[in-house]
Structure 1
Amino acid sequence: MLSNIRIVLVQTFHPGNIGAAARAMKTMGLTELTLVNPRAFPDDEATRLAAGATDVLDNARVVDSLSEAVDDCVQVIGASARLRHLPLPHFDEPDTMAQSALGNARSAPVALVFGRERSGLTNDEICCCTHQVSIPANPDYGILNLSQAVQILAYEVHRAWRTQRGSEFAYQAPTQATPPTREQFEHFQQHLHKVMQHSGFLTQPHARTEEQLQALFARAEPSRKELSLLRGLLSALEPGDPQDA
């Protein structure tokens, strides 16, 4: 399960933070690191602060966009302050997040996404996630270094893994339905947009209808089979080719 947990760092400015994050990962048994447009990588400072976790750096994948980093993931959890205007499912406690992530990681990749040192994740990037998680901290000073945030969430994942590993009940639990990948969910959203637009349903561009529906389906967490059923329904609602009439 740990091999299916992917740490994604978006546009990291200081290469030393990449190295420190790699060190935090390795101490908790995580090896999958993806970097989205880092300012400088590879870099000597990253190697220095990795402190022996250079294998994580050597195997890191560098991509151009967050979508490319997470398209094959069945759960994408963005680490950020809770944003009420983006009503994605939210984990108020990292330990709850870790249990959910491990459950999904039994069958497919799960991504934990961290934003820029100064500004975090953009709204568009959070919309690319299926869930959000926040780290409870001092309300008067809740500022965490990037690698510290990685360390905390990685620790919670490793702790949940240790707990499940020692529990016979966890291994006997019935297999959950396989969730769709982020790419499959994106195709569903595009299909839904096409049908709603063609039907004339989207008549109020400022009503945020699509955003609210996206949040609804994110909270529902449909399985791949259920998402396929929904796409079949959308196909049935699409008007036929006029030439067929």
Structure 2
Amino acid sequence: MLDRIRIVLVQTFHPGNIGASARAMKTMGLSDLVLVAPRQFPDEEATRLAAGATDLVEHCRVVDSLSEAIGDCVQVIGASARLRSLPLPCYHAPDRMAAELWQRLPEGPVAIVFGRERYGLTNDEIGHCTHQLNIPANPDYGVLNLSQAVQIVAYEAFRQSRAEGGLAQAPRANGPYPTVEQLEYFYDHLHRALDSAGFLTQPHARTEAHLRALFTRAEPSRKELSILRGVLNALEGSNRSE
């Protein structure tokens, strides 16, 4: 199941951090590395710092946007030291995060997203995640190097795999989680329905951001999401007939 845990690095500035992160992953049995618009890659420094994990660097996937990196995932955890004004469900301990993500792995990949070395993930990028992760550290100097943060997460995932004997729990009773791509289709549909109903009349009210946060906390199953889209279709049909 460790091969279903995806590490996503967004716009990494120093190529050496890519190699060091790959090494951190391989020591703990992780192998799925995706780079989003890295500043400089491929690069000899990335290969050098990967040491014995050069295969992860050579076979990693490079994409242009975060959406491309996470579309097929059933959970996306954004590692961030800052809590946003519309907070997502947040893990304040990596071991708890590992225990919960392990329950989702039977249904599909889980991505853990790390931002830029200088300022992390943007608000928009956090908005594409389903959860946040905050790694506790010294409050007087809580600065973790990118590869150090990856190492902590990878270790907790590996430790969880040993506790579970390598097996994930059975899918939840009320159905599988939707992928991020399926959620985005729903949010697009919700936007169209609200817009056609004349509900989105205050552009600065952040109505849609609040609704996204609500549905993220609710964690609807694929079946529940299908029902919600059916409701939106019915409302749109009602608006057209008036």
SS of 1:186's partner is helix
Q: Distance in 1 between matches of 2:132 and 2:176?
A: 20
Q: Distance in 2 between matches of 1:235 and 1:241?
A: 10
Contact 1:2–1:102 (CA<8 Å) still a contact in 2?
no
Of the three residues 148, 171, 175, the one matched with 1:175 is 171
Given the two structures, how large is their TM-score scaled by the length of structure 1?
Answer: 0.93
Map of 2:39 onto structure 1: 39
Give the gaps of 5 or more residues in structure 2: none
Q: Distance in 2 between matches of 1:220 and 1:33?
A: 29
Report the residue type matching 1:127 in the other structure: G
Q: Distance in 1 between matches of 2:184 and 2:87?
A: 17
Map of 2:236 onto structure 1: 238
Relative distance call for 1:191 and 1:24 in structure 2 (3 A) is: same
Map of 1:100 onto structure 2: 100
Superposed CA deviations along residues 120-175 of structure 1, whole A, max 9, x for unmatched, are 00111110111100100011100000000000011111111111117xxx76x542
Of the three residues 213, 216, 240, the one matched with 1:215 is 213
Given the two structures, how large is their TM-score scaled by the length of structure 2?
Answer: 0.95
Q: Distance in 2 between matches of 1:197 and 1:112?
A: 33
Q: Distance in 1 between matches of 2:75 and 2:164?
A: 19
Question: What aligned pairs does 1:70-89 form with structure 2 within 5 A after superposition?
Answer: 70-89=70-89
- Give the ranges of 4+ consecutive aligned residues of structure 1 lying more than 4 Å apart after TM superposition: none
Q: CA RMSD in A?
A: 1.6
Contact 1:82–1:133 (CA<8 Å) still a contact in 2?
no
Note the C-alpha offset of 1:39. 1.3
Note the C-alpha offset of 1:209. 1.2
Relative distance call for 1:48 and 1:174 in structure 2 (3 A) is: closer
User: How many residues align structurally?
Assistant: 240
Report the residue type matching 1:156 in the other structure: E
Q: Distance in 2 between matches of 1:178 and 1:69?
A: 20
Relative distance call for 1:47 and 1:94 in structure 2 (3 A) is: same
Report the residue type matching 1:62 in the other structure: V
Matched, 1:228 2:226: yes
Contact 1:86–1:127 (CA<8 Å) still a contact in 2?
no
Map of 1:10 onto structure 2: 10
- Of the structure 1 ranges 81-90 and 58-67, higher mean CA displacement relative to structure 2 is found in 81-90
Map of 1:48 onto structure 2: 48
Q: Distance in 1 between matches of 2:42 and 2:239?
A: 52
